[in-house]
A and B are shown apart, each in its own frame.
Chain A
């Protein structure tokens, strides 16, 4: 078991090295364009040269990477050109919004995926299964930004239930806070629940053919109890894997929703910095979201093993 964790930790370490290296070299190994692109099309040759100097583009690349990495490890992501402050501070201040959005959207997508997945698996091929499955298939073709606009149109312009944009921090009251995040979270959920529902449905169909489900039925237990208490947990391993991948993706993918709904999260910080050509901030955001993505995936990988006592046993026995 310890050997397995060590192996996974080693892998995590290498991926982190790769990820930081790619982030770093992306700027530093690309042709002279980089400085030009950062400076923007209206810049003079002098400005470009200054940026090149600022970035230290003339020193040895490996030395620069190590110096930079050393600073990053200490939490120093540099200083923002535009915001006139530390990049790390800006990221930390935006983080709660993104995390809150993420948690809420994950909850909402599970609230959609689990009941529908279970109902469809209970009567596969039935009218309700066909209806839900084809709706889900159709929803896979709706990009998240289209979903966001559609929901804004329905819920804020047409029905006037929820605000279309703007964010109320928790300090403004938990109710206002959640209300301002509900539509963005629902936008993400409406797109992300589909793969969750599909894997749960297919795994559950397999589980429902197991003997212990027959045994549970022979005990005279009601169908909803059997579905949720006996069948759900053994059917949810793939669901959790996909969910983990999604959480990772959302860390990097929340920028679209944050932009549509004008939420002050990490994603919007990144987009804003790109438009503002705030080099240090862009690098910091990319590095942060990438590392968050890698670590979330690692955590899910570990969690996965602990959820199923059979896998836990394999790991303890050392067969894993």
Chain B
């Protein structure tokens, strides 16, 4: 593979609210190759969700992607596609699963229909074989009695089952890319692991690329090939997972890693947390937007915005004036 499956360049998204304009995603660039997983990690409100929706242009009317942004999917720029061409990509090329499996399934539509509708619309299948395939898909995501489930409504299923249904829907047209926006946040811990294992398994089986969005650094570290840390709408550090874990350069990444609770910690170890509030994106800030919470911040950090650079290796970049752990 010489070209990436998905290439995002300078993606910038503004949200127009009554109180003013918010730049929710700022100049985000990354590449994703087939079969690989990129983890996007950050606190709530850092722009991860808007980033996902921007990639598939699923934004609400009050959000606006800037002209300079470029999204190249499968060798083709999707900037100037018509709604119809976009729908082709959304259904067949790239699929998405969402955080809350209860609210992302239509409450008044049977499970079977929600799984088959992409088959009927995109693959032009007939009703009968589509239902048959829906059953296969539900079986593939580990649902025990699919023929019974297709006649049920979402509220009759548990949270974990609903998320499995959502995954089955996403996989229906065999997408090359799966965007999972906090796929396990709303689920019980035991179910979380099951769902993530299922995603892993399906990814390998189908050679899909995946964007895994999460606020949980530990989860991203063990599931993703590469990790992009987002803060204040920007990618502040971007590296292969093991490199980032071993040698975080940005103090924010370090803080996130420290915040992962460890099993070997003795009982009653206080949880590490990051002091201060995530930045108010309404107010433009001249320097590094983590500076107000950073113990290492100096004058430069407050006055001048650091750019995403890599000082030692090609595949580890970060945006920081005072990076940690310089390898000498």
Interface residues in chain A, defined as those with a beta carbon under 8 Å from any beta carbon in chain B:
123, 209-212, 214-223, 225, 229-230, 233-234, 308-310, 313
Complex interface residues of chain B between 81 and 101 (CB less than 8 A to chain A): 83-84, 86-92, 95-96, 98, 100
Q: A309-B155, A313-B155 are in contact. Are A219 and B95 (CB under 8 A)?
A: yes
Do the beta carbons of B108 and A233 come within 8 Å of each other? yes
Interface of A is mostly: helix
Do the beta carbons of A220 and B92 come within 8 Å of each other? yes
Chain B proximity of A126: nearest CB distance (Å): 9
Chain B proximity of A258: nearest CB distance (Å): 38
Q: Is B117 an interface residue (CB 8 A)?
A: yes
Q: A212-B103, A309-B107, A309-B108 are in contact. Are A219 and B83 (CB under 8 A)?
A: no
Q: How far is the CA of A231 from the CA of B173 in the complex (A)?
A: 23
Q: How far is the CA of A214 from the CA of B156 in the complex (A)?
A: 21
Known: A211-B103, A211-B104, A221-B117. 9 other contacts (CB 8 A): A212-B103, A216-B106, A219-B95, A220-B86, A223-B83, A233-B108, A234-B106, A309-B107, A309-B153
Give the 9 A-B residue pairs with the shortest CB-CB distance, closest first. A220-B91, A220-B90, A211-B103, A220-B87, A218-B96, A215-B104, A212-B106, A211-B104, A309-B153
Q: A220-B88, A230-B106, A309-B108 are in contact. Are A214 and B155 (CB under 8 A)?
A: no
Do the beta carbons of B108 and A219 come within 8 Å of each other? no
Total contacts A-B at CB 8 Å: 78
**Which of A215, A222, A308 interacts with B105 by CB under 8 Å?**
A215
Sample 17 A-B pairs with CB under 8 A, ordered by A number: A209-B60, A212-B107, A214-B53, A217-B90, A218-B58, A218-B90, A219-B91, A219-B169, A220-B90, A222-B87, A230-B106, A230-B109, A234-B106, A234-B107, A309-B107, A309-B108, A313-B156
Chain A residues closer than 8 Å to B83, beta-carbon distance: 222-223
Complex interface residues of chain B between 262 and 309 (CB less than 8 A to chain A): none
Chain B residues closer than 8 Å to A218, beta-carbon distance: 56, 58, 90, 95-96, 98
Encode B237-269 as 1/0 by CB contact (under 8 A) with A.
000000000000000000000000000000000
Do the beta carbons of B98 and A211 come within 8 Å of each other? yes
Interface residues in chain B, defined as those with a beta carbon under 8 Å from any beta carbon in chain A:
53, 56, 58, 60-61, 83-84, 86-92, 95-96, 98, 100, 103-109, 117-118, 121-122, 153, 155-156, 166, 169
Q: How far is the CA of A209 from the CA of B59 in the complex (A)?
A: 11
Chain B residues closer than 8 Å to A216, beta-carbon distance: 106
Chain B proximity of A128: nearest CB distance (Å): 14
Chain A residues closer than 8 Å to B87, beta-carbon distance: 220-222
Q: How far is the CA of A219 from the CA of B95 in the complex (A)?
A: 7
Chain A proximity of B204: nearest CB distance (Å): 23
Do the beta carbons of B121 and A212 come within 8 Å of each other? no
Q: How far is the CA of A217 from the CA of B98 in the complex (A)?
A: 12
User: Nearest residue in B to A219 (C-beta to C-beta)?
Assistant: B118
Q: How far is the CA of A229 from the CA of B113 in the complex (A)?
A: 11
**Which of B53, B89, B153 interacts with A220 by CB under 8 Å?**
B89
Chain A proximity of B316: nearest CB distance (Å): 32
Chain B residues closer than 8 Å to A222, beta-carbon distance: 83-84, 87, 121
Q: How far is the CA of A219 from the CA of B175 in the complex (A)?
A: 11
User: Nearest residue in B to A125 (C-beta to C-beta)?
Assistant: B61
Chain A residues closer than 8 Å to B88, beta-carbon distance: 220
Do the beta carbons of B109 and A220 come within 8 Å of each other? no
Q: How far is the CA of A216 from the CA of B107 in the complex (A)?
A: 12
Chain B proximity of A141: nearest CB distance (Å): 31
Chain A residues closer than 8 Å to B104, beta-carbon distance: 211-212, 214-215
Chain B residues closer than 8 Å to A234, beta-carbon distance: 106-108
Q: How far is the CA of A233 from the CA of B153 in the complex (A)?
A: 14
Chain B proximity of A121: nearest CB distance (Å): 12
Chain A residues closer than 8 Å to B61, beta-carbon distance: 123
Q: How far is the CA of A233 from the CA of B108 in the complex (A)?
A: 7
Chain A residues closer than 8 Å to B56, beta-carbon distance: 218
Chain B residues closer than 8 Å to A313, beta-carbon distance: 155-156
Q: How far is the CA of A221 from the CA of B96 in the complex (A)?
A: 13
Do the beta carbons of B103 and A210 come within 8 Å of each other? yes
Chain A residues closer than 8 Å to B90, beta-carbon distance: 217-220
